[in-house]
Structure 1
Amino acid sequence: MRCRLTLLTAARSSALLDARFDDDRPLDHAGWQEIHYRAPVLHGLAAAGLRYRSPTERCRETGHALGLAPLAQPALRDCDMGRWRGRTLREVAAAEPEAFDAWLADPRAAPHGGETLTGFITRIGGWLDTRPLEEDGWMMAVAEPAVVRAALCYALRVPPDTYWRIDAHALATVTLTGSPRNWCLSCD
């Protein structure tokens, strides 16, 4: 059996603009405007049989604003950034340049004391592979950009450093089709 999963990145918040690690801020004014502008294009996502979301406030607000009523999934949380949580990329790079460089260079490194990139990708892949299978079933999930990037790395079986080459903009969609450990990127 095959199913379809559409991933929608949450609308923006000030944490995205600041490039903050794992900072659960609500949508900002521009994020609400983006939803209003894109809602006519995204309204069809409400037809998905199962609707999920990352447990962050901005994913909850995005899903609610689009009338999706998605179910929070703890496994879809952002990467655990340990002591770097809430700090900006610039702050961490300035305060801990060697640790920051190691984190970027080695997907198994966790100098922040949190989750490794490979662990994060594996966790998101585990969530993908446990979705219920219904013939021609359609699911959707509102997720953080990092979660969407991790899902794509897992689904496409690419090296973990590919994660840094995927750009997931606010309110972007991507669809995966398939079954556990056999996912494909679907271009509509």
Structure 2
Amino acid sequence: MLVTLIAAARTSPLLETRFGDDRPLDAAGWQALERAVPALAPLAAAELRYCSPTAGSRQTGEVLGYAPLAQPALRDCDMGRWSGLTLAEVTAREPAAVDAWLTDPRAAPHGGEALLSFISRVGGWLDTRPLADDGRIVAVTEASVIRAAMLYALKAPPHAYWRTEIYPLSVVSLHGARGQWNLRLG
């Protein structure tokens, strides 16, 4: 099975990104998406098409012609009481909690989901996709979900999450099946 993950188009400038952000695409996101349509629209031929439940992911999937089904398992990490705040705001208020969150993958000082739980949730979604070996899936989701999927597929240590960058409209493909995933580039 081939699972192609596409990062949703931009919803805000990077420094304005908020935990648990569910804003629609901004003007730069719409423009980038319009330019990407010719390259990404053919992925609509996949047998199954999904998106995270966020506005930006749904809009990206619709513009690309995927008519995606929203999947709660593809939502961003639950950031608890930090939802709606920027990293700078949280760091100013709770510097020790941010340090714990960034260094201990089991920590959830925000009261939400720990990084390990998030990676496991995304991996569980991957492992339960209902397709034959040659089936194709496309999913539009947040960059964080794609990062988690890559770590799960590669069985990489959790701290590698903080060293992985996914830009809006990036495409990552995973080939395999339950517990046996390979990262496919190019």
TM-score (ref. length: structure 2) = 0.98
Distance in 2, Cα, partners of 1:68 & 1:144? 16
Query: Is the 1:121–1:154 contact (alpha carbons within 8 Å) kept by the matching residues of 2?
Result: yes
State the secondary structure of the residue aligned to 1:67.
coil
Structure 2 partner of 1:124: 122
The answer to whether residue 104 in structure 2 is matched with residue 106 in structure 1 is yes
Distance in 2, Cα, partners of 1:124 & 1:157? 13
Deviating 4+ runs (over 6 angstroms): none
State the secondary structure of the residue aligned to 1:23.
coil
User: What are the residue-to-residue correspondences of 1:60-99 with 2, within 5 Å?
Assistant: 60-99=58-97
The count of aligned residue pairs is 186
Mean CA deviation greater in 130-139 or 162-171: 130-139
Structure 1 partner of 2:55: 57
Amino acid at match of 1:161: H
Distance in 1, Cα, partners of 2:148 & 2:20? 14
Distance in 1, Cα, partners of 2:38 & 2:12? 24
Question: Percent identity at matched positions?
Answer: 60
Counterpart among 165, 184, 187 of residue 185 in structure 2: 187
Distance in 1, Cα, partners of 2:150 & 2:105? 16
State the secondary structure of the residue aligned to 2:162.
helix
Query: Is the 2:133–2:177 contact (alpha carbons within 8 Å) kept by the matching residues of 1?
Result: no
Q: Structure 1 stretches of 5 or more lacking a match? A: none
Q: 1:22 to 1:15 in 2, by over 3 A?
A: farther
- After superposition, the CA RMSD in angstroms is 1.0
TM-score (ref. length: structure 1) = 0.97
State the secondary structure of the residue aligned to 2:24.
coil
Q: 1:55-97 CA deviation, whole Å, 9 max, x = no partner?
A: 1010000001111101000111110000000100000001100
Query: Is the 1:15–1:25 contact (alpha carbons within 8 Å) kept by the matching residues of 2?
Result: no
Amino acid at match of 2:180: N
User: What are the residue-to-residue correspondences of 1:141-156 with 2, within 5 Å?
Assistant: 141-156=139-154
Query: Is the 1:13–1:25 contact (alpha carbons within 8 Å) kept by the matching residues of 2?
Result: yes
Amino acid at match of 1:97: P
Distance in 2, Cα, partners of 1:39 & 1:54? 19
Q: Give, in angstroms, the shift of residue 43 of structure 1.
A: 1.3
Q: 1:120 to 1:88 in 2, by over 3 A?
A: same
Q: Give, in angstroms, the shift of residue 14 of structure 1.
A: 1.5
Amino acid at match of 1:34: A
